[in-house]
Structure 1
Amino acid sequence: MKTSKPLVVALVFLSTSILFAQDVGLTKKDSIVQSFWMITLGTNIVDDSGDEFGDLLDLSDGWNMVPFPSRISVGRYFENGLGVEAIGTYNRYKEGKIVDNVPNPEEVDYLGLDFRVSYDLNMILGETGFFDPYIGIGAGYTDANNQGRGTYNAVVGFRTWFSDHWGLDFNSSGKWTMNTENSSNHIQHALGVAYRFEVEKGLSRKGEEKLALLQEMEKEQQRIQDSITAQQKADEEARLLAERLKREQEAAELASAEKAKKEAEDAKRESLQTKINDLGNVYFKLNSSYLTSRDKELLDELVSIMESEPKLVIQVNAHTDSRGTDKYNQWLSERRAQRTVEYVLAKGISKERISQEAFGEKRLVNECDDNVLCPETKHAKNRRSAFTIMD
């Protein structure tokens, strides 16, 4: 059967869509870090010259730093862009540096403990790759120039990441004293190595757009696939219909002969089944699988029928009454079926012409189950091997 033109067009479009979807598939670049814990270790620079906001880069006179790691922070950052961070810093005001608008007469320790809340500006700007700017506010306590003071803080900074875990953190904080009479405002710059852990990632905006596009393409591909499947089904149904009509035509020509043959076979089968049914069943004593002399006489008659009908195949169905456990009764019925079949085989019937099936107490012929008290005569009717003609 020739392929329809709409089906060919749909197949071409589907193949093109699959290739395009492979080109725009999600990659590692489409994922971003959304939440994490972070530790930074680095150095800090303090400008407490008194004119720090007017001359930000007064390195020679205003900047103070020590030649070893002097800043550590621990923070938790969340999917909504917010982060909380605790920061500890140490520094020394150098002799001769400008502190609070006057030359510093001797070296003085600087200690700071700050807490802040920050916000990731990428939540507003969109994902900027390795560049991760942020702003924040907070408060803390600073002991500087032999003066303790609480401070209100504001920070601006950025981080640049080399991997999902390692990066650098750059920031500058303005610190405004809570005690305006005895202490001054100052600026603190910081540079540190950042390590983040317990990182949870998600899709970037570009990734989400790709995912939405892929989902739409998947729906379209599914629609096309459904259309192709429907067309193929229609073609297959047409082919099957033609074959069915041909078979029906051939069958009609043979119908009369087959019907007559079947009726003759059914009549013979019914006659043989009636003849076997008239023999009766093999009945066993309680808890026994042994054949009595009467049982053997019955089976001899069955063998005689099978010898006269070489194509006759019999199945022995063995049963028990309801007394005893299900497991025991199943085993007992198997023994009864086996002994019945063995007797018939011993009379010269081939094993291909007789089979067995054991049902335990599953097929009682009366109401005598585990919940009904019955006399022995009724239980005896269930302890049987019956015979069925097989096709």
Structure 2
Amino acid sequence: MNTSKPALAVLVCFFALTISAQDIQMTKKDSIVQSYWLVSLGTNMVDDSGHEFSRLFDIENAWNMVPYPSRISVGRYFKNGLGLEAIGSYNKYKEGKIIDRAINPEDVDYFGLDFRVSYDLNMILGETGFFDPYIGIGAGYTDANNQGRGTYNATLGFRTWFSDHWGLDFNTTGKWAMSIDNATNHIQHALGVAYRFEVEKGLSRKGLEKLALLEEMEKEQQRVQDSIAKAEEEARLLAERLQREKEAAELAAAEKAKKAAEDARRAALQNKINDLGNVYFRLNSSYLTTKDKELLDELVAIMESEPGLNIRITAHTDSRGTHTYNQWLSERRAERTVEYVISKGIFEERIEHEAFGETQLVNDCKDGVRCTEEQHSKNRRSEFLIIKM
């Protein structure tokens, strides 16, 4: 079956879409963690030198920390990028460090309890892989340098994830005292191991775009497949119609050839019967002569060789005598002819007969026309016509 040019175009389009869909596959990078519970454990470093950001990296003189885990947090993060977190921390202001712009004379404990609302910057920046930056604001209570104070907090940090559950958390929090006199603002840095659970994942913005593209390509592939199926169905129906037309044409040709052969055979057989001649009767007679019987014997021989052959015997008279008489006479001639053929073993149902009297003359010898006896004799006849083969 030949494929039409439109069908080929559809196939080319289908294979192109298939290749493109294979090139644009969803991967792990297209999914992000959208909501989870988070627990982190680590250490914290406090800079309460009183110099705000001027001694931000003066680790030796301004940073205070203890040599063991000193910070724990528990939080819940949601699909909209917001997170709620509670943080507890302990530290110790070391003797000799700068605290509130003065040298600290002795070790002093530090306690902090903070609550924070965070926002995942990847919601704005787009998925950045293992790098997960965030900002946060909140409030808390800090007891530092023997002074308790409420604080307003602002945090900048990031987490880096090694798997869907484990990662590291780095952040820096500025803490501003609410209204306590002589209590300075301070900065708290933190580093910890983060573990998240009840993780619910979804698609990143790029993943959603890719999914939308894949869905559109899938629809287009389906449309192309439907077009291919339609084209194949149309081609199948066309092939079936052409096959039916071909078979019908072949059948018609075969029927025509068969009919032509039958007509030719019938014509040849009719010519053979015609070659026998007619049975000619004497004036006012319906009896068969020896010559007539010999002719009918030849007719019987033909019918015996053609078992499917049925004939009609028609009998006629000349125009002399009345119409009624001539009709009766022609019927007698037909009956005697049929009786002879049947007597030779031909079944009666294979022979029909019909009498026409003087109604079918073979010449102009009708009433009132003078004709010779020979001319009249040609009308006194029985003829043989094939009616079935």
Alpha-carbon displacement from aligned partner over 1:76-96 (angstroms, at most 9, x marks no partner):
011111000000000000011
Tell me the amino acid that sits aligned with residue 130 of structure 2: F
Kept in 1: contact 2:48–2:186 (CA 8 A): yes
Aligned length, in residue pairs: 255
Measure, in 1, the Cα distance between the counterparts of 2:106 and 2:6. 90
Distance apart, 1:61 and its partner CA: 1.2
Distance apart, 1:239 and its partner CA: 2.1
Counterpart of 1:380 in structure 2 is none
Tell me the amino acid that sits aligned with residue 21 of structure 1: A
Say whether residues 1:168 and 2:168 are aligned partners: yes
Measure, in 1, the Cα distance between the counterparts of 2:5 and 2:244. 26
Counterpart of 1:237 in structure 2 is 237
Say whether residues 1:69 and 2:69 are aligned partners: yes
Alpha-carbon displacement from aligned partner over 1:125-163 (angstroms, at most 9, x marks no partner):
111111111111000111111111111111011111111
Measure, in 2, the Cα distance between the counterparts of 1:229 and 1:42. 63
Give TM-score, length-normalised by structure 2.
0.62
Instruction: Kindly report which structure 2 residues correspond to 1:110-259, keeping only aligned pairs within 5 A, or say none.
Output: 110-245=110-245
Counterpart of 1:78 in structure 2 is 78
Secondary structure of the 1:92 match is: strand
Kept in 1: contact 2:175–2:187 (CA 8 A): yes
Kept in 1: contact 2:149–2:180 (CA 8 A): no
Measure, in 2, the Cα distance between the counterparts of 1:124 and 1:222. 35
Tell me the amino acid that sits aligned with residue 6 of structure 1: P
Measure, in 2, the Cα distance between the counterparts of 1:205 and 1:54. 40
Counterpart of 1:32 in structure 2 is 32
Distance apart, 1:230 and its partner CA: 1.3
Secondary structure of the 2:150 match is: strand
Kept in 2: contact 1:140–1:152 (CA 8 A): yes
User: What is the Cα-based RMSD across aligned positions, in Å?
Assistant: 2.0
Distance apart, 1:220 and its partner CA: 1.6
Structure 1: state its 5+ residue gaps. Answer: 254-391
Q: Which of the pair has more CA radius of gyration?
A: 2
Secondary structure of the 1:123 match is: helix
Distance apart, 1:244 and its partner CA: 4.1
Secondary structure of the 1:17 match is: helix
Tell me the amino acid that sits aligned with residue 146 of structure 2: N
Kept in 2: contact 1:174–1:186 (CA 8 A): yes
Measure, in 2, the Cα distance between the counterparts of 1:60 and 1:118. 30
Alpha-carbon displacement from aligned partner over 1:320-346 (angstroms, at most 9, x marks no partner):
xxxxxxxxxxxxxxxxxxxxxxxxxxx
Secondary structure of the 1:184 match is: coil
Alpha-carbon displacement from aligned partner over 1:31-60 (angstroms, at most 9, x marks no partner):
111111110000000011111322101111
Distance apart, 1:9 and its partner CA: 2.1
Distance apart, 1:182 and its partner CA: 3.8
Secondary structure of the 1:129 match is: coil
Instruction: Kindly report which structure 2 residues correspond to 1:329-368, keeping only aligned pairs within 5 A, or say none.
Output: none
Secondary structure of the 1:55 match is: coil
Counterpart of 2:382 in structure 1 is none
Counterpart of 1:99 in structure 2 is 99
Measure, in 2, the Cα distance between the counterparts of 1:208 and 1:152. 37
Give TM-score, length-normalised by structure 1.
0.62
Tell me the amino acid that sits aligned with residue 235 of structure 2: D
Counterpart of 1:11 in structure 2 is 11
Measure, in 2, the Cα distance between the counterparts of 1:160 and 1:242. 69
Worse-matched range after superposition: 215-224 or 141-150 = 215-224
Kept in 2: contact 1:117–1:136 (CA 8 A): yes
Measure, in 2, the Cα distance between the counterparts of 1:136 and 1:12. 54
Distance apart, 1:245 and its partner CA: 4.7
Structure 2: state its 5+ residue gaps. Answer: 254-389
Measure, in 2, the Cα distance between the counterparts of 1:220 and 1:59. 61
Distance apart, 1:240 and its partner CA: 2.2
Distance apart, 1:180 and its partner CA: 3.4
Distance apart, 1:3 and its partner CA: 1.2
Distance apart, 1:218 and its partner CA: 1.3
Distance apart, 1:248 and its partner CA: 6.5
Alpha-carbon displacement from aligned partner over 1:172-211 (angstroms, at most 9, x marks no partner):
0011111231422111000001111111111111111211
Measure, in 1, the Cα distance between the counterparts of 2:235 and 2:179. 88
Instruction: Kindly report which structure 2 residues correspond to 1:222-301, keeping only aligned pairs within 5 A, or say none.
Output: 222-245=222-245
Secondary structure of the 1:83 match is: strand
Measure, in 1, the Cα distance between the counterparts of 2:153 and 2:224. 60
Measure, in 2, the Cα distance between the counterparts of 1:17 and 1:38. 43
Measure, in 2, the Cα distance between the counterparts of 1:73 and 1:198. 16
Measure, in 2, the Cα distance between the counterparts of 1:102 and 1:3. 92
Measure, in 2, the Cα distance between the counterparts of 1:229 and 1:135. 55
Kept in 1: contact 2:73–2:88 (CA 8 A): yes
Measure, in 2, the Cα distance between the counterparts of 1:62 and 1:182. 18
Measure, in 2, the Cα distance between the counterparts of 1:200 and 1:251. 72
Kept in 2: contact 1:52–1:62 (CA 8 A): no
Counterpart of 2:56 in structure 1 is 56
Measure, in 1, the Cα distance between the counterparts of 2:186 and 2:27. 45
Measure, in 2, the Cα distance between the counterparts of 1:183 and 1:238. 93
Tell me the amino acid that sits aligned with residue 150 of structure 1: G
User: % of aligned pairs identical?
Assistant: 71
